[in-house]
Amino acid sequence: MGSFNNVRSLERGLKVLEALNRCHGARAQQIARIVELPRPTVYRLLETMENLGYVTRSEDSWTLTAQVKALSAGFHDDVWVTRVAAPILHELGREVQWPVDLVTFENDAMIIRETTHAASPFSIDRGMAGTHLPILQTSGGRAYLAFCTANEREVILARLRQSDKPGDAIARDQRFVERILSETRQCGFGFRTDGFNPHTASISLPILIEDRVLACVTMIWIASALSFEEATARNVDAIRRAVNRIQTLLLA
């Protein structure tokens, strides 16, 4: 009987993890409805996983942590980056000449997973892979926030407002956040013309799989070399074609 109960607990815990992964963060009551379990049971499971480092809470919302990746040690989640996105990203880099990054969201920051900086004749940076970037000060972060689900966006912004990192402070300016995300949606891409790096500007388009933003493709240019209007007119279509190719291959 004890063995059966342990297996049942594991089954319930995995269901809760799956629900959190689909929702990109949710309240205990929401998760309970999804997995069809009593709220107290779900709450105990969440607290257990919090103690183990697999989930974290912000106020009354729960989200997965990077610790969950340890569960997939035998599964290489970077395969899609190396096999699908990287070749297309480097083709795009050769087409636009300016450096191009593939960025993903993790632990309240955008991480450069793949980059063409080393191959670009116009790059002023090197060794950018693995760099953590502030969300609201970068075009990739703005694109991610603008096009992710409303629930995920609320959870991320709540965490940024509580962050003590200088780059996250602007999350407390609700009017600014609403304006920049609205402009991003109207344009169809994230953009940065100042702030994070005053010498460069950038634009970023999301890679969307159903309603999930898997990553963003960002092009960076020297601000004094091209105006924002010139850069977007010349390059947005090329970036969009690359994004569409990645999405098509991932959905195949």
Residue 140 in this model has a pLDDT that exceeds 90: yes
pLDDT score recorded for residue 127: 59
Q: Percentage of residues in the chain with pLDDT exceeding 90?
A: 51
Nearest one of 68, 26, 30 to 49, comparing CA atoms? 68
CB–CB of 228/187 below 8 Å? no
Q: In the beta sheet, which residues pair with residue 112?
A: 103
Mean local confidence (pLDDT), 181-189: 96
pLDDT tens string 155-179: 999 999 999 888 899 999 999 999 9
∠ CA 135-136-141, nearest 5°, is: 45
Token pair for 226? 């091209």
pLDDT tens string 73-129: 554 456 677 788 999 999 999 999 999 999 999 888 999 989 998 889 888 776 577
Alpha carbons 160 and 152: distance in angstroms, whole number: 12
The H or E element containing residue 216 is: strand 212-222
Domains of the chain from N-terminus onward: 2-72 (1.10.10.10), 79-251 (3.30.450.40)
Residues 6+ apart with CB under 8 A from 57: 46, 50, 63
Per DSSP, helices labelled H in the chain are: 2-23, 28-35, 39-52, 79, 86-96, 139-147, 150-162, 174-187, 228-251
Residue 3 in this model has a pLDDT that exceeds 50: no
pLDDT score recorded for residue 198: 83
Mean local confidence (pLDDT), 23-40: 85
Radius of gyration of the chain (CA): 20
Residues 6+ apart with CB under 8 A from 83: none
The conformation of residue 194, written as its DSSP 8-state character, comes to: S
pLDDT tens string 48-75: 888 888 888 887 788 888 777 666 555 4
Alpha carbons 182 and 161: distance in angstroms, whole number: 19
Token pair for 151? 């629930």
User: Mean pLDDT in the chain?
Assistant: 87
Q: In the beta sheet, which residues pair with residue 63?
A: 56
